Structure 1
Amino acid sequence: MYPTYVIWNKHMVKFLRNREELLGLALQSVLWVVLFGVGMRGLISEIEGRDYMSYILPGILALSVLGGAVGGGMVMLDERLRGILKEYLAAPIPRLSILLGSATSTATKALFQAVLMLLVGILMGARLAFNPAGWLVSLILLGLFALGFSGIALAVAAVSRSIAGYHGMIFLFNLPLLFASNALYPLAVLPGWMQAIVLLNPTTYLIDAIRTLAFGTTATLPLALSIAVVTLFALLGTWLALSMFQRTIRG
């Protein structure tokens, strides 16, 4: 596990020293929560009996996790294109630790951005339910979702041949996962064909669980099912990253 920690620590130190990346994450949080959230709250005062800022914030948290995972995948792609990954492979460390170090650092960055957005959202009027246990479970679910999408980002980074190609491929998973979910609107108002698509999206289950646990809304989907789907997504994302990483090594 120590090699995994060393790689995680290397990525996090680089992240914390990169003022441009930190500023970009902060500005993204402010833009989404303040401009979009506050603007839409002026149009829609309440939805499902909740202030719209409180309703939309779990979806914005999911988006922040996606954005953080995309940035983490970029780090691995940059290291692969510059030959740093070959130096890792030449080192006397388990090869799996290379992937785990990248995956955990990517998930950590994603959680950092999610917490930042949550704080901005609370300052803008979002109201959390007083449920410390629910807050903890919500944080765990965000971590699992971050790990799952980090796996997808790392898998794409493992096979991409350029930064432009990486962004082109990852876009297929980024915003569509947000808008084809219950992040911005209730599941009940969607047409049947779109509900079928939304229910195939793991983001839907994450958002519904966070709304229930952290914001005190009535669950639209069974909470146990939501937790199971998010956990399965984390496992599948990790498996996908491992499969693509092993293929890269053989190549």
Structure 2
Amino acid sequence: MYATYVIWTRHMRKFVQQTEELVGLALQSVLWVVLFGVGMRGMISDVGGSDYMSFILPGIIALSALGGAVGGGMVLLDERLRGIVKEYLAAPIPRLSILLGSAASTATKALFQATLMLIIGLLMGARLAINPVGWLGALVLLAIFAIGFSGLALGVAAISRSIAGYHGMIFLFNLPLLFASNALYPLSVLPGWMQAIVLINPATYLIDAVRALAFGVEATLPLWASGLVLAVFAAASMIFALSLFQRSLRA
């Protein structure tokens, strides 16, 4: 576990020192919340008894967590291409700790970006429900979601041979997952065929649960089902990442 902590510390120190990455995350948050959220709120006053900013913010938070996970996968890919992973392998540490350290730092970045997005959203008029237990539950589910997409990002990074190839593959986990979810519109207004697609998307369950727990919007899906789907998704994603990471070491 100490090796995992050391790798996590290394990645987070690099993240803090690279001001362009921090500024990029901040600008992305501002653009999504201010330009998209505020603009749409001018057209739609409320959804399901909630103002549109409070309705849309959980979806933007999910997208930001996904973006943070994608950025974390880039770190592993960069270390592979530069030969740093081989230096890790030469050290007397468990190989699994390399992946766990990368997963921990990736999930941390995802949570950082999601927190930043939440703060900006609240400044723009979103309203949290007065429910500290709900806030904690939403944070736990967000962490599980971040770990899940961290696993996907790391798995893709483990087999990608170039940065361009990584971005080409990871694009499938970015904007398409946002629009194929309940982030921008209620699940009830979608046609049946689209609802079937949306319900396959793990982001749908996070967004619905966060709306209910943190923003007081009535849940469309059972909270226990959302928690179960996210837990299974996170476990499957980490197994996926571990499998591809071990395969890359044998290559």
Tell me the amino acid that sits aligned with residue 244 of structure 2: M
What is the deviation of 1:173? Answer: 1.4
Q: Deviations over 1:53-106 (max 9, x none)?
A: 000000000000110000000000000001001000111000000000000000
- 1:210 is aligned to 210
Q: Deviations over 1:222-250 (max 9, x none)?
A: 11000111111111111110000010111
Q: Unaligned regions of 5+ residues in structure 2, if any?
A: none
- Cα distance in 2 between the residues matched to 1:93 and 1:198: 41
- Cα distance in 1 between the residues matched to 2:35 and 2:18: 25
Q: Secondary structure at the match of 1:196?
A: helix
Runs of 4+ in 1 over 2 A off after TM superposition: none
- Cα distance in 2 between the residues matched to 1:217 and 1:42: 20
- 2:161 is aligned to 161
Q: Deviations over 1:160-201 (max 9, x none)?
A: 010000000000111111110000001111111000000111
Confirm whether residue 11 of structure 1 aligns to residue 16 of structure 2: no
Tell me the amino acid that sits aligned with residue 147 of structure 2: L
- 1:98 is aligned to 98
Tell me the amino acid that sits aligned with residue 15 of structure 1: F
Compute the TM-score of the two structures, normalised by the length of structure 1: 0.99
Confirm whether residue 247 of structure 1 aligns to residue 247 of structure 2: yes
Count of residues in correspondence between the two structures: 251
- 1:190 is aligned to 190
- Cα distance in 2 between the residues matched to 1:62 and 1:236: 19
After superposition, residues 40-119 of structure 1 pair within 5 angstroms as 40-119=40-119
- 1:141 is aligned to 141
Compute the TM-score of the two structures, normalised by the length of structure 2: 0.99
What is the deviation of 1:218? Answer: 1.0
Coordinate RMSD, CA, aligned: 0.5
Tell me the amino acid that sits aligned with residue 66 of structure 1: L
- 2:29 is aligned to 29
- Cα distance in 2 between the residues matched to 1:137 and 1:4: 26
Matched residues, percent identical?
76
- Cα distance in 2 between the residues matched to 1:137 and 1:10: 29
What is the deviation of 1:49? Answer: 0.9
Q: Secondary structure at the match of 2:210?
A: helix
